[in-house]
Amino acid sequence: MIVLLTISTTRVPATDLGFLLHKHPGRVQSFAESVGTAHVFYPESTDERCTAALLLEVDPIALVRGRKGPSGDGFSLGQYVNDRPYAASSMLAMALKDVYRTALTGRCTARPELVEIAFPLELHLPAVPCRGGAGLLRDLFEPLGWAVEATAVPLDPTVPEWGDSRYLDVRLTGQLRVAEALNHLYVLLPVLDDAKHYWVSSDEVDKLVRAGAGWLAGHPEKALITRRYLAHRRELTQSALARLAEVDDTDPDELDNAVDGAAELDSPDRPAPLAEQRRGAVLAAVRASGARTVGDLGCGEGVLVRDLLAERGIDRVVATDVSARALLIAGRRLKLDKMTDVQRARLDIFQSALTYRDDRLAGLDAAVLMEVIEHVDEPRLAALERAVLGHAAPSTVIITTPNVEYNVRFDSLPPGESRHRDHRFEWTRAEFARWAEAAAAQYGYSVRYLPVGAEDAEVGPPTQLAILTKVVT
Amino acid sequence: MTRELAIPELSLVVLIGVSGSGKSTFGRAHFRSTEVISSDFCRGIVADDENDQAATPAAFELLHYMVGLRLRAGRLTVVDATNVQPEARRALVEVARAHDVLPVAIVLDVSERVCLARNAERPDRDFGAQVIRRQRDQLRRGLRGLQREGFRTVHTLGEDEIDDVTITRTRLFNDLRHETGPFDVIGDIHGCRAELERLLVELGYDLTRDEAGRPVGAHRAGRRAVFVGDLVDRGPDTPGVLRLVMGMVAAGDAFCVPGNHENKLLRAMRGRNVQVTHGLAESLAQLAAETEEFRAEAARFMDGLISHYVFDGGKLVVSHAGLTERYQGRASGRVREFCLYGQTTGETDEYGLPVRYPWAEEYRGRATVLYGHTPVPVPEWINNTLCLDTGCVFGGRLTALRYPERELVSVPAAEVYYEPVKPFPANADTAGSVARRDADVLDISDVVGSRVLETRYQKRIGVRAENAAAALEVMSRFAIDPRWLAYLPPTMSPVATSARPDLLEHPEQAFEYFRTEGVGEVICEEKHMGSRAVALVCRSGEAAQARFGLPGLGAVWTRTGRSFFSAGLTAQFVDRLSVAIESAGLFDEFDTPWLLLDAEILPWSAKAEQLLRDQYAAVGAAARSSLPAAVAALDRAAASGLDVAGLRARTAARAANADAFTEAYRRYCWPTDGLAGVRLAPFQLLATEGAAHHERPHSWHLDAADRLVTADPEVVAPTRRLTVDTTDPESVAAATQWWSELTAAGGEGMVVKPAANLTRARKGLVQPGLKVRGREYLRIIYGPDYTEPDNLERLRARGLGHKRSLALREYALGLEALDRLARGEPLWRVHECVFAVLALESEPVDPRL
């Protein structure tokens, strides 16, 4: 299993490249890496043209063993059979940094004058994983002075209907300093890859600042580069949930998606982001109900919880979510460990599932299900109704859900697609009302509706909100 | 003379006596050390000093807490503290009441002189005589009021009696655990004497009559009747019913618990001020025509009835209005209240009747609870509880349940004797029918947290809280309705690692394992190249609705309980399977409205196409693009005189491996469109109504599968197999050859199972199967280059212990789920096993195994 990078130049004498890379063209050198062995050799080294090849020979078994790292029990099939050993990704970036360390920092003791010279360079990477395709590749490299040539690699030539893989056979040509070129690769290869499950190390911000010196600050895609570079280094997600996904031959992301940080769609003329408007409307409904004990059922990362805790009239907040990960993030965001006893006593936060009855939800004055029901399979809503309206039975239940009629107003949303990939359904106003009224009637509630966000004359508001009030006999 | 003190078996015994009166000695002499909790001990725990009076409040907090925990668990508990102050006793009576346990007082009435002398001998007790004197005064003042304080039994022992006492533990009146039946439990009669006579005859009882021809008894050898109360009111002959039931109880042919109507009638007969409604007037009028003697006898009978009974080792509870688990076998005012009136919310409905709390839907007890009180058109099992009041007096039926047979026997009412306040759907067609309704909402406490499950096959299987948390997320967000999801297949271990130079797995280790476990005959089944699936298929929509309470003909799900197909495709697929099962005659043969199949769905790409593309095909694509470029670069380097021969050879070998890898995964893909091209290969018929089939041999299961193949060869795929004698080298060799051929032809491998199916050995369950995977298939598991000698050598170190243990735990849980399903146990009992399998699946185990 190998990963390949070749760097060529035609600046006479081309063998100067050897001085800059600190690697003698006449030798084959090998370096031990944590994931295998890196070899540097020169397929050609004449005055007219010199090519240095970095060949990373990955040891797949050592790769796995080395990975048991901080999270200890990290097991997932994707770790064993994956493209890392062939693809130019963060592993190559790491090898690059180890093998060409001096070159990367722009030092050359033997021929210091070479450092500042822009060389005609040609880089070849036969398999670059690129989430975002050749377009993104160009967006990232062209502003830096590279000419980009990229050929898509088909996924499987015997199954043409599968189309292209996410790999590109990439050639970059340009007139650049060698150190610059190496730093571009070091930062941008992991950014292109955007893989999620690989841990590298912690002080990544510093590393990015160092490697991006002089070129990242002015890069038009700076935001994307920074986000992806740092994001893919998040904790290794070898969660129990990921293991369940693999039992089913499923991508862990498909199950572990309760917290995916997807940006929400916003209406074209937005006075405030929709999420903010929604929280505002929910808070208004909570205040109007006079509730003192409020449940945020499906609290996610706890944004509404923070608002509820800030309300003076609320004595106690019960926050639940089915995702253990969401609760972890909510706990961090709410700074649970730094709360005073008085603050902490106002908040109960625990895992619960709305399709199961939960006695801990008894005694709520109001319960909020904000953007929750659309994440439950429609046939299972009866169980949710029974657990929430029948069993927990708060005096007021506030429910929000997207209004699918409004989807046509989102320019970025292709027709027929839902706003979030985990939405099991999105309802029209009539559908929502039909459901809310039937559920309310069954469990003794009355219903009223509020629009959330600017109401469109034709398709209504972007979000619909229903307030169910327990009928007192 | 020895004095005998009777105390109820389950009670809170409060010792009362001043310091030095010998309480601790008494406690030690008559109770187990674990039964006695002393305040001195608690002081020691909270303050490191048994005599630190400043620690008293905390010590009692601890004492009350410990007492509460013991009482909750139903354990007799003795409190060793002075308890001379009424406040101290009141707190203990409250703890006893909170757990519906009877408080008992044992007073040690010892003279001041003796106490002082004893304390003087103990250097740690330096409090003065005035303390003892004050305690004596408090004790004397309190003695007379102990009954009023709530102590049901009070024993006062003088100084001379204390040393000569025996304690006798008596059963509670409601404790008839030694009565194991069989019983015929009869619902609310409400004065319908004629129907009761007919029902008893139907149940096989012989009636005896008095000289006036009135029935005064009924007897059937070997059986006893149990009446759930509400014998009286509304109907035509309350005295006649009383006469018959009283006679049966007196003769030992029946037991009877009181209903709310007996309670009210008794109060009316005693001249209490009660509202004469709900048919009470009829009873009073009918009883007025009886003799004074009969009325007195009836009143005595009704007064003596015990709120509820616990029968058959605790497996059966009978009470008029049902009983939650925590009240069973307990005695208190509120237990009696629950037994008579049930649990009400305090609200009233549109007919002015109290709104009842659906306690049965939350019931999680092990005991079957039989009761009446609320008329229902058809008796319905709800979480192992059954209401037998079928509204006889309203023109419905009089119903009995045979226990332990669980058969319903009923007779229709001759007429509508009384018009109900709330319309009662009188329906004579429901004779003997019984519905099941499990609460369709499960309780979170059924599944979350750290849990231990008891199974028949492996005692006590633990589930860790963090694994349950992951399972909860998958179960509630992705899995199908738990009413379908009756089973999840266990994980399966591979064979022990082969020592052969070029292989990781080989059949010989499988045969060796089973031979060592004493299994002579095994069956080798081809390992299908698909995805594991479980299919629940019903005979008809009505059958599905009746048994599972869900629309459609069934469901097909994956190893984590997710639906295999979209709703539309599921319906099509299950319909087709139902037709196949029908034409194969399996519904008829097993007399079952549904079938649960363990199977594989082909092709793998039907479910895992995304995985194939993103993970496997991607590896091939990256390799195809990288390796030739690398080989070319190395060739040029070699041409320019560099020594890269070794690296070049390795890189070229990798290119070949990558090609083999690509070949291997391609075998798992074939195009499917909707259901076209999708096939089900069943290999076990897990369960049918009333029976789980894991003790039938695999040949039986595969025969059934073959019949389905014959019925619909397009959709149902056969499973090739070979039976092997593990002690016959020729048979083993033939099977090894069979495996080699299967895998050489691109097959995934085989699974070796004990031919008899469920097999136990000395150390417990034998693995239900071991997989032996082919060399090329393993390439997509272990990576393209796993066959390189250096890699293989390191991979051989794989540990199988955890996987094996996990496979057995999941297997035991799966079988338990099937047993519970077949027995018709409540949904939550099946679900907790299924949930536990899912939770165990999230344990960290090398996924390549």
Question: What local confidence, expressed as pLDDT, does residue A238 receive?
Answer: 45
A421 falls in which pLDDT band (50, 70, 90)? confident
Mean pLDDT of chain A: 84
The answer as to whether B166 is a domain residue is yes
Q: Residues B162, B179: one domain?
A: no
The answer as to whether B785 is a domain residue is no
Q: Residues B195, B46: one domain?
A: no
Beta bridge partners of B397: B391, B412
Beta bridge partners of B523: B723, B753
pLDDT in tens, B556-580: 999 999 999 999 999 999 999 999 9
User: Helix, strand or coil for residue B69?
Assistant: helix
The answer as to whether B540 is a domain residue is no
- The answer for residues whose C-beta is within 8 angstroms of residue A80's C-beta and 6 or more apart is A60, A64, B781, B782, B783, B847, B848
A237 falls in which pLDDT band (50, 70, 90)? very low
B660 touches chain A (CB under 8 A): no
B540 falls in which pLDDT band (50, 70, 90)? very high
Query: Which chain B residue has its CA at the smallest distance from A372's CA?
Result: B477
Q: Residues B84, B201: one domain?
A: no
- Taking 50 as the threshold, does the pLDDT of residue B637 lie above it? yes
- Taking 50 as the threshold, does the pLDDT of residue A298 lie above it? yes
pLDDT in tens, B478-488: 999 999 999 99
CA distance A22 to A17: 8
Lowest mean pLDDT among A145-159, A273-287, A429-443, B779-793: B779-793
Minimum distance, in Å, between the CA of residue B434 and any CA atom of chain A: 24
pLDDT in tens, B122-161: 777 767 788 888 899 898 888 888 989 989 889 999 988 8
CA distance B699 to B522: 10
Task: Judge contact between A401 and A417, C-beta under 8 A.
Answer: no
Question: What local confidence, expressed as pLDDT, does residue A235 receive?
Answer: 43
Last residue of a domain, one of B170, B186, B205: B170
Between B230 and A202, name the one with better pLDDT.
B230
Q: Do A127 and B844 touch (CB under 8 A)?
A: no
| Beta pairing, strands B461-463 & B206-209 | unpaired
Instruction: Tell me the average pLDDT across B708-721.
Output: 95
User: Helix, strand or coil for residue A219?
Assistant: coil
A338 falls in which pLDDT band (50, 70, 90)? confident
The answer as to whether B280 is a domain residue is yes
Question: What local confidence, expressed as pLDDT, does residue A196 receive?
Answer: 47
B432 falls in which pLDDT band (50, 70, 90)? very low
Range from A265-279, B41-55, B176-190, B650-664 that averages highest in pLDDT: B176-190
A108 falls in which pLDDT band (50, 70, 90)? confident
Question: What local confidence, expressed as pLDDT, does residue A473 receive?
Answer: 63
Task: Judge contact between A236 and A69, C-beta under 8 A.
Answer: yes
- Taking 80 as the threshold, does the pLDDT of residue B528 lie above it? yes
Question: What local confidence, expressed as pLDDT, does residue A68 receive?
Answer: 38
Instruction: Tell me the average pLDDT across B706-713.
Output: 96
CATH of residue B103's domain is: 3.40.50.300
Q: Residues B157, B272: one domain?
A: no
Closest residue to A322, CB basis, from B477, B630, B781: B477
Q: Do B621 and A154 touch (CB under 8 A)?
A: yes
**DSSP secondary structure letter of residue B46:** H
Lowest mean pLDDT among A262-271, B172-181, B615-624: A262-271
A264 falls in which pLDDT band (50, 70, 90)? low
Q: Residues B251, B309: one domain?
A: yes
Find the domain containing B241 and state its range.
Answer: 175-434
CA distances from B598 to B86, B490, B681, B757 (A): 66, 11, 9, 14
Instruction: Tell me the average pLDDT across A244-267.
Output: 64
ipTM of predicted assembly, 2 dp: 0.80
Question: What local confidence, expressed as pLDDT, does residue A240 receive?
Answer: 65
Minimum distance, in Å, between the CA of residue B811 and any CA atom of chain A: 16
What is the number of domains present in chain B?
A: 3
A361 falls in which pLDDT band (50, 70, 90)? very high
Q: Do B626 and A126 touch (CB under 8 A)?
A: yes
Q: Residues B16, B53: one domain?
A: yes
Residue A155: list chain B partners with CB under 8 A: 613, 617-618, 621
Q: Residues B43, B186: one domain?
A: no
Q: Please give the domain boundaries of chain A with CATH numbers for all domains.
A: 2-240 (3.30.1610.20), 274-470 (3.40.50.150)
CA distance A396 to A406: 27
Task: Judge contact between A65 and B797, C-beta under 8 A.
Answer: no
- Taking 50 as the threshold, does the pLDDT of residue A156 lie above it? yes
What is the number of alpha carbons within 13 Å of residue B494 lying toward its C-beta? 22
Question: What local confidence, expressed as pLDDT, does residue A266 receive?
Answer: 59
CA dihedral over B120, B121, B122, B123, signed as positive or negative: positive
Query: What tokens were used for B556?
Result: 């097909």
- The answer for residues whose C-beta is within 8 angstroms of residue B719's C-beta and 6 or more apart is B525, B526, B528, B681, B682, B683, B702, B705
Residue B845: list chain A partners with CB under 8 A: 75
Query: Which chain B residue has its CA at the smallest distance from A161's CA?
Result: B671
The answer as to whether B703 is a domain residue is no
The answer as to whether B78 is a domain residue is yes
Last residue of a domain, one of B406, B434, B462: B434
Question: What local confidence, expressed as pLDDT, does residue B306 receive?
Answer: 95
B723 residue type, one letter: T
Closest residue to B444, CB basis, from A126, A129, A356: A356
Task: Judge contact between A397 and A468, C-beta under 8 A.
Answer: yes
Q: Do B614 and A251 touch (CB under 8 A)?
A: yes
Instruction: Tell me the average pLDDT across B716-744.
Output: 95
Last residue of a domain, one of B403, B434, B465: B434
Cβ-Cβ contacts under 8 Å between A and B: the total is 255
- Taking 70 as the threshold, does the pLDDT of residue A269 lie above it? no
Question: What local confidence, expressed as pLDDT, does residue A260 receive?
Answer: 59
- Taking 60 as the threshold, does the pLDDT of residue B436 lie above it? no
Question: What local confidence, expressed as pLDDT, does residue A387 receive?
Answer: 92
Q: Do A86 and B477 touch (CB under 8 A)?
A: no
Question: What local confidence, expressed as pLDDT, does residue B844 receive?
Answer: 81
Q: Residues B210, B141: one domain?
A: no
A65: left (phi over 0), alpha (psi -120 to 50) or beta: alpha
- Taking 50 as the threshold, does the pLDDT of residue B525 lie above it? yes
**Residue B454: which H helix or E strand, with range?**
none
CATH of residue B266's domain is: 3.60.21.10
The answer as to whether B53 is a domain residue is yes
Q: Residues B333, B284: one domain?
A: yes
B624 touches chain A (CB under 8 A): yes
Closest residue to A323, CB basis, from B473, B608, B784: B473
Q: Residues B147, B246: one domain?
A: no
Q: Residues B46, B73: one domain?
A: yes
B218 phi/psi in degrees, rounded to 5:
-155, 140
Q: Residues B148, B208: one domain?
A: no
Question: What local confidence, expressed as pLDDT, does residue B494 receive?
Answer: 94
Question: What local confidence, expressed as pLDDT, does residue A71 receive?
Answer: 32
The answer as to whether B723 is a domain residue is no
B673 touches chain A (CB under 8 A): no
Query: What tokens were used for B286?
Result: 């009918």
Between B72 and B422, name the one with better pLDDT.
B72
B183: closest CA among B140, B235, B222? B222
Between A202 and A318, name the one with better pLDDT.
A318
A84 falls in which pLDDT band (50, 70, 90)? low
Burial of A87 per CB tally in 10 Å (0-12, 13-18, 19+): buried
B615 falls in which pLDDT band (50, 70, 90)? confident
Between B461 and A162, name the one with better pLDDT.
B461
Residue A241: list chain B partners with CB under 8 A: 470, 473-474, 842
